[in-house]
């Protein structure tokens, strides 16, 4: 709403908000913060089409804009779009370039008409294989550039600007469409009346897609494709309608099946790997038992591995599932509890088996140990891969920076604190060219600052950073895997979409340094010794690549003797305020090249290294410098 009213400055317009019986108190917030808004409260969910029609019928403007609530517009979005419409009389509908919460272009900004041919290409996936083909890529019109103004068939209902006179001529949204398909139907009727639909990328909006529906769910597939059938029956006739309906029905069952398979695979693949690990471990134990304990290969009948082992594995997996061992974040305690429960059940069943089927209790006990170990190691690997730390049971911290001017950025930081945001606050980024000890850097070099400090999440102060500048950076950094959020001026909430779990501690002046913990230092020392041994073993292969074999082995003995550690502070700056550690062969800043780091940046990186130390961070730096 804040961005909408900013974009309306200088424009004679009215804003309608239609509420389909929400229970989150959002309409009270709208009335309190934006009293000029015209609010329409429905006592039931009447659907997208009917709700929009309610507002359109009350509107008095020359133009009508359909706008999703999960969008943010630029300050000049409305003025640019209206100017274009004023200059082009034949344009009945106008859409803009849409990006998601990470700055990625949303291809549904421009679409082709879902003819039977287009539907078939989409159903078999040819539109993805040949996205820029004029024949196969019609669904998203991939042959039209993201920044190319062009006439298109279908506009997205998330942002659809239309002439009120055209709507008076062709009618409002078809209320037969409850949620999906109404924008396709309306776009088609605009072109059938002799007007044009235009994709206009000279301005863009953020569309936090996916807030209202799970787009990969089977339910979404049924609702969306049923809407396509309604469209086909309405606008096509005879053979074309039957062909389109057949293709859509086929798409429904194919896509719904794929959606179910995908969801099942996402939920069950860990259990499948567990089954293979448990079974493999049991087979290895059996082979060892036969060779070294029974001294007779083939001592156990083949049925033991073929039936008993899979049964053991299934029981252990079911008990691990029952104990919560498949819930994230993973917990070793839950794994062990489930494995022990499974062992109790297996042992109880074992006791009632006839002697001909009762094999070895020793293998069951050894299998218990191997299962607990393998499943725990597997969970540790999954955790490190996702969260980049070794603290199983805790999610990774989201490294966050706030962009704004003094005052507003402090307000946003306080807002995060009051909200209990569990993040790794990296610092502030100035909203102008100011660079001093109070900030990480300037927004003018946002990409470089995020790279140096490993920022996962950027929060823009809407009061200080325009929506246009925010979107420019989002588009520029779309491939950087950084999430962007916005705090509106005087707003007590954050606009954004983030799939990461928040965990950690919000930075305050009372700093605790992880690297000062005795247990942490022991782990760091253990890693140092292990790396020394590894480097010593592979030294003959690597030392010649360093340019100085003497220096290579000298560093190993320096670390082994305890004089050095493999990773330490960058001592080109003062480190007296940080916990004392051994000088490093490598520096904690070694992972931030190719940027030239100034004194302030190095000081902060030393600080973050000490405050948030993880053994995994040392591992990453050592791997980058392994040949040195």
Is 55 in the same domain as 192?
yes
Is 376 in the same domain as 452?
no
Quick check: is 482 in a domain?
yes
Opening angle at CA 61, ends 57 and 63, nearest 5 = 95
- Tell me: cis bond preceding 329? Omega within 30 of 0 counts: yes
Q: How far apart are CA 112 and CA 118, in angstroms?
A: 8
252-261, 344-353, 559-568: least confidently modelled range: 252-261
We report the CATH number of the domain holding residue 182 as 3.90.550.10
Cβ neighbour number for residue 580 with a 10 Å cutoff: 10
Q: Which of 332, 363, 387 is the last residue of a domain?
A: 387
Element (H, E) at 551: helix 549-560
Is 602 in the same domain as 467?
no
We report the CATH number of the domain holding residue 472 as 3.40.50.720
Quick check: is 65 in a domain?
yes
Quick check: is 518 in a domain?
yes
Is 83 in the same domain as 194?
yes
Is 468 in the same domain as 596?
no
Is 561 in the same domain as 490?
no
Residue/partner pairs of 188-192 with CB below 8 Å, 24 or more apart:
188/113, 188/153, 188/154, 188/231, 188/235, 190/92, 190/93, 190/162, 190/166, 191/92, 191/153
| Summary mean pLDDT of the chain | 84
Quick check: is 295 in a domain?
yes
Is 168 in the same domain as 307?
no
**Tokens standing for residue 520:** 């942490």
pLDDT per position as a tens digit, 586-605: 999 886 656 677 787 888 88
Quick check: is 226 in a domain?
no
pLDDT for residue 128 is more than 70: yes
Residue 252 pLDDT: 62
Element (H, E) at 249: helix 238-288
pLDDT per position as a tens digit, 476-490: 888 777 888 888 876
Quick check: is 447 in a domain?
yes
Q: Is 613 exposed, middle or buried (0-12, 13-18, 19+ CB in 10 A)?
A: buried
Q: How far apart are CA 181 and CA 187, in angstroms?
A: 10
pLDDT per position as a tens digit, 206-215: 997 644 444 5
Sequence-separated (6 or more) residues with CB below 8 Å from residue 72: 3, 205, 206, 467, 470, 471, 486, 495
Is 342 in the same domain as 479?
no
Helix 238-288 with 218-235: angle, nearest 10 deg: 160
Is 422 in the same domain as 548?
no
Ramachandran bin of 67, using left for φ above 0, alpha for ψ from -120 to 50, beta for the remaining angles: beta
pLDDT for residue 508 is more than 50: no
Which has more pLDDT, 33 or 219?
A: 33
Q: Which of 204, 226, 257 is the last residue of a domain?
A: 204
Is 151 in the same domain as 184?
yes
Is 200 strand, coil or helix? strand
Is 182 in the same domain as 92?
yes
Q: CA torsion angle for 264, 266, 267, 268 (degrees, to 10)?
A: 80
From 336, 288, 347, 287, select the one nearest 312 (Cα to Cα): 347
Q: Which of 387, 415, 434 is the last residue of a domain?
A: 387
Q: How far apart are CA 129 and CA 317, in angstroms?
A: 39
Query: Looking at residues 442-456, what average pLDDT do you find?
Result: 90
Quick check: is 319 in a domain?
yes
Element (H, E) at 352: helix 332-352
Quick check: is 451 in a domain?
yes
How many structural domains does the chain have? 4
Is 364 in the same domain as 426?
no
pLDDT per position as a tens digit, 415-448: 887 766 778 899 999 998 888 888 999 999 999 9
* pLDDT band (50, 70, 90) for residue 239: confident
| Residues of the domain holding 418 | 399-496
9-18, 52-61, 166-175, 347-356: least confidently modelled range: 347-356
């Amino acid at each position: 709403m804040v961005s909408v009213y900013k974009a309306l400055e200088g424009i004679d317009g009215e804003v309608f908000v239609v509420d389909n019986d929400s229970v989150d108190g959002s309409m009270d917030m709208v009335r309190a913060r934006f009293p000029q808004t015209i609010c329409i409260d429905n006592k039931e969910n009447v659907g997208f089409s009917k709700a929009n029609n309610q507002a359109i019928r009350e509107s008095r403007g020359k133009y009508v804009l359909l706008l999703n609530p999960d969008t943010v517009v630029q300050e000049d979005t409305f003025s640019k779009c209206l100017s274009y419409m004023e200059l082009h009389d034949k344009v009945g509908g106008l859409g803009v370039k849409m990006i998601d919460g990470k700055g990625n272009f949303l291809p549904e900004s421009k679409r082709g008409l879902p003819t039977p041919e287009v539907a078939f290409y989409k159903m078999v996936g040819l539109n993805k294989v040949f996205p820029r083909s004029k024949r196969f890529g019609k669904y998203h019109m991939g042959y039209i550039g993201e920044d190319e103004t062009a006439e298109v068939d279908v506009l997205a209902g998330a942002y659809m600007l239309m002439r009120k006179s055209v709507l008076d001529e062709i009618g409002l949204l078809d209320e037969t469409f409850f949620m999906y398909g109404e924008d396709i139907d309306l776009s088609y009727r605009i072109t059938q009346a002799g007007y044009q639909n235009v994709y206009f990328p000279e301005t863009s909006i953020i569309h936090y897609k996916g807030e209202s529906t799970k787009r990969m769910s089977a339910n979404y597939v049924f609702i969306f494709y049923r809407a396509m059938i309604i469209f086909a029956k309405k606008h096509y006739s005879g053979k074309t309608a039957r062909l389109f309906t057949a293709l859509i029905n086929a798409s429904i069952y194919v896509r719904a099946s794929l959606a179910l398979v995908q969801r099942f695979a996402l939920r069950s693949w860990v259990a499948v790997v567990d089954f293979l690990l448990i079974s493999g471990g049991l087979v290895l134990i059996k082979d060892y038992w036969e060779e070294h304990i029974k001294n007779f290969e083939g001592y156990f009948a083949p049925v033991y591995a073929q039936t008993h082992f899979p049964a053991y594995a299934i029981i252990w997996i079911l008990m691990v599932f029952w104990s919560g061992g498949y819930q994230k974040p993973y917990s070793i305690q839950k794994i062990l509890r489930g494995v022990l429960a499974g062992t109790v059940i297996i042992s109880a069943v074992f006791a009632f088996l006839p002697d001909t089927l009762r094999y070895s209790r020793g293998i069951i006990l050894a299998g218990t140990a191997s299962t607990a170990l393998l499943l725990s190691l597997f969970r540790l690997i999954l955790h490190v891969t996702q969260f980049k730390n070794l603290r199983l049971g805790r999610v990774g911290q989201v490294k966050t920076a706030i962009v704004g001017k003094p005052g507003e950025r402090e307000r946003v930081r306080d807002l995060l604190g009051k909200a209990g945001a569990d993040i790794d606050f990296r610092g502030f980024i100035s909203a102008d060219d100011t660079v001093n000890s109070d900030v990480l850097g300037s927004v003018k070099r946002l990409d470089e600052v995020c790279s140096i400090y490993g920022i996962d999440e950027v929060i823009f102060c809407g009061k200080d950073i325009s929506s246009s500048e925010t979107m420019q950076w989002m588009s520029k950094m779309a491939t950087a895997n950084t999430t962007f959020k916005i705090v509106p001026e005087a707003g007590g909430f954050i606009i954004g979409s983030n799939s990461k779990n928040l965990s950690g501690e919000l930075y305050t002046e009372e700093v605790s340094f992880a690297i000062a913990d005795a247990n942490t230092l022991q782990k760091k020392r253990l890693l140092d010794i292990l790396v020394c041994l590894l480097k010593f073993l592979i030294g003959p292969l690597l030392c010649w690549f360093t340019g100085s074999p003497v220096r290579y082995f000298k560093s190993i003995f320096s670390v082994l003797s305890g004089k050095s550690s493999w990773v330490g502070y960058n001592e080109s700056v003062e480190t007296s305020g940080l916990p004392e550690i051994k000088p490093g062969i490598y520096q904690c800043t070694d992972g931030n090249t190719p940027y030239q780091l100034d004194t302030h940046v190095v000081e902060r990186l030393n600080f973050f290294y000490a405050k948030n130390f993880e053994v995994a961070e040392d591992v990453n730096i050592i791997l980058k410098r392994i040949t040195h």
